[in-house]
Amino acid sequence: MRFNLNDLATSTPSIHSDVCIVGSGPAGLSAARKLASLGFKIFLAEGGGHGREGNLKSCYEGEYIGDPNYSMAWQRRRYFGGSSNCWGGWCRPLDSIDFNREDIDDHCIWPITSQHLIPYSADAAKILDVDNQFDSRDIPGSKFKQIQFQFSQFEKQTNPRPTRLREKYGLEIDNSKNITFCVDANLTDGSFYKGQTVKYLTFTSSIGKRINVAAKYFVFAMGGIENPRYLLWFRKKFKAEFSRLNLPIGRYWMDHPHYKIGEVVYFNKLETQVSSIETKWYGPDGHAYLSFNSNALLSLRSLNGGFRLKSRKNHARITKRIIEEFACAAPALAAKIAGGENICVYECLFAYEQFPDKENRVELDLANVDLLGIPRVQIFNKKREQDSLTLKHTTLALSDWLTQSDIGRMKLESWLAAAMVGENQTVSYPVPFYAGHHMGGTRMSNTPSTGVVDKDCRVHGSSNLFITGSSCFPTGGHSNPTFTIVQLALRLADHLANCLKSN
Ligand SMILES: Cc1cc2nc3c(=O)[nH]c(=O)nc-3n(C[C@H](O)[C@H](O)[C@H](O)COP(=O)(O)OP(=O)(O)OC[C@H]3O[C@@H](n4cnc5c(N)ncnc54)[C@H](O)[C@@H]3O)c2cc1C
């Protein structure tokens, strides 16, 4: 059943449910549907509308401090389905090595392994409309493996675009007996007991209608910025009533830096030169995907990163430009390219794992509140030495492999070329070509000193507050996050179902 909080006749009524879930993006919706299918009563609160963003979209505005970034409001959607209303549909689970990089730092570890999430892969694939097949194969003679992404395609034949969960599940939620779906219901307040228990949460609509929701369990699924923001706000407002632990809320925040790092000239089509390259794994626009294999990651002590090699359409014009650029510094190479019959050029994009640094954090901007009276956020985010090493090591290895095996050559963007001159050169990062994978901030950890939630996504010290979404990721790998977000949400639903049964 769906209703709009604005349509309530009385003000501040109360509702009881088994689980109250805040946020109807991929995380909240996946958890809600699974719990409802097991017979539990769910109150699902969505701050935005059913099919549009209202004036409360401005609550998503905030300020990035540090490396250049895009507007925070642009990076998210605040209505039913969350950012699945605009996502690109790229899917891939994390690599198993991403769950444990203690070789780099004590903080680079999850309290669970990839094995804990694999049982949820098939259902996550169904929800996101992708094949549950993510193969990879080492490329002989190199430090690289070719990897496979899947691309979400709702109605493959008629309307091949990434799945919008609002369109896919709207009717099911409207008709659900077990889900009470309340739109225009923004989390604004709550009642807490002894720093351990949430008694109820309060939701406010755009015209000021309010509802209190009591439940056995509460789940925050508001995305990778709002989850830490609301925990920070409740801690500030309710102090020890909310939590008695000094949790690192907002800390270890991460994104996936995405940069165009250069162009790669192949002397022959990639797949004709490298026998293990699978063309059937190519994505839209002829992308091929490479990343370091595990041995290279461990031996170079590099975090994970993925190259997206995008075939350029206008080869002749781009090849001519590259020949001109090479002509002075490397005339023999320019002549080789000019004389080649099967030369092709790929744009080289790199998306990589950001180091979970404690100083990269979400903070409340107390001088600046949104329309609901809640402080906006400032996000301090700066790439660290480990991030520059990941970028440099991986790029250098790709360039060396191309040159030594005489497959092709790489031409770097000038900002990166300048930084590659010496190991200690700092990188002047330009504006990335994409940003918006918000991770960390309520990271998962075995102890409250290093994390906000435990291995079951329960807030340390709380008996009934859980968080789901990429804010729980202790490390980010380089895969786009939504597949893992859905796996985690389904795992949380299983855990809550067990708790409810044993109650
Ligand atoms: C342009 C773009 C392209 C992307 N492409 C990809 C991609 O190709 N592959 C990929 O894996 N990921 C991609 N992403 C990221 C992906 O969209 C997110 O990882 C995913 O949507 C996160 O899911 P979530 O449910 O945790 O959060 P969200 O999708 O952010 O959902 C949070 C929900 O909570 C609601 N909410 C927020 N605050 C409140 C409140 N106070 N009260 C009540 N409700 C509230 C919001 O309205 C929203 O519905 C992309 C993102 C963007 C912006």
Provide the residue type at 330 as one letter: A
Beta carbon of 378 within 6 Å of any ligand 1 atom:
no
Mean pLDDT along residues 358-373 = 97
| Of 467, 163, 229, nearest in space to 365 by CA | 229
Q: Is 265 helix (H, G, I), strand (E, B) or coil?
A: strand
Q: Whose CA is nearest to atom 51 of ligand 1?
A: 87
Which pLDDT tens digit goes with each residue over 227-281?
999 999 999 999 999 999 999 999 999 999 999 999 988 888 777 778 778 888 8
Position in ligand 1 atom list of the atom nearest CA 226: 38
> Measured from the CB, is residue 186 less than 6 Å from ligand 1?
yes
Query: What CATH number matches the domain at 2-132+165-254+440-502, 3.40.47.10, 3.40.640.10, 3.50.50.60, 1.10.3720.10?
Result: 3.50.50.60
The answer to whether the CB of 47 falls within 8 A of the CB of 78 is yes
How far is 175 from 326, CA to CA, in rounded Å?
Answer: 63
Q: What is the pLDDT of residue 341?
A: 75
Q: Model-level pTM?
A: 0.96
Question: pLDDT above 70 covers what percent of the chain?
Answer: 97
Q: Are 227 and 453 in contact (CB under 8 A)?
A: no
Amino acid at site 430: P
CA–CA gap between residue 375 and residue 380 (Å, rounded)? 16
Q: Is 226 in the pocket of ligand 1 (CB under 6 A)?
A: yes
Tokens of 478: 């380089």
pLDDT of 315 strictly over 80: no
Mean of the per-residue pLDDT values of the chain = 92
Q: How many CB atoms lie within 10 A of CB 328?
A: 8
Tell me what pLDDT residue 313 has: 65
Q: Establish whether residue 486 lines the binding site of ligand 1, counting it when its CB lies within 6 angstroms of any ligand atom.
A: no
Within a 10 A sphere around the Cβ of 113, how many other Cβ atoms?
12
pLDDT score recorded for residue 314: 66
Rounded distance, CA 486 to CA 281, Å?
23
Backbone φ and ψ for 150, nearest 5 degrees, come out as -115, 150
The count of other CB atoms within 10 Å of the CB of residue 132 is 16
DSSP string for 418-448: HHTSSTTPPP-----SB----B-SS-B-SST
CA angle (235, 236, 240) in 5-degree steps: 50
The rounded Cα 176 to chain-centroid distance in angstroms is 29
- Alpha-carbon span 259 to 350, nearest angstrom: 5
By the 8 A CB rule, do 306 and 352 touch?
A: yes
d(CA 27, CA 204): 21
Domain extents in the chain = 2-132+165-254+440-502
Q: Is 387 in the pocket of ligand 1 (CB under 6 A)?
A: no
Does the pLDDT of residue 489 top 70, yes or no?
A: yes
Residue 496 predicted with pLDDT over 70:
yes
Q: What distance in angstroms lies between residue 26's CA and the mean position of ligand 1's atoms? A: 7
How do 179-183 and 210-220 pair as beta strands?
A: unpaired
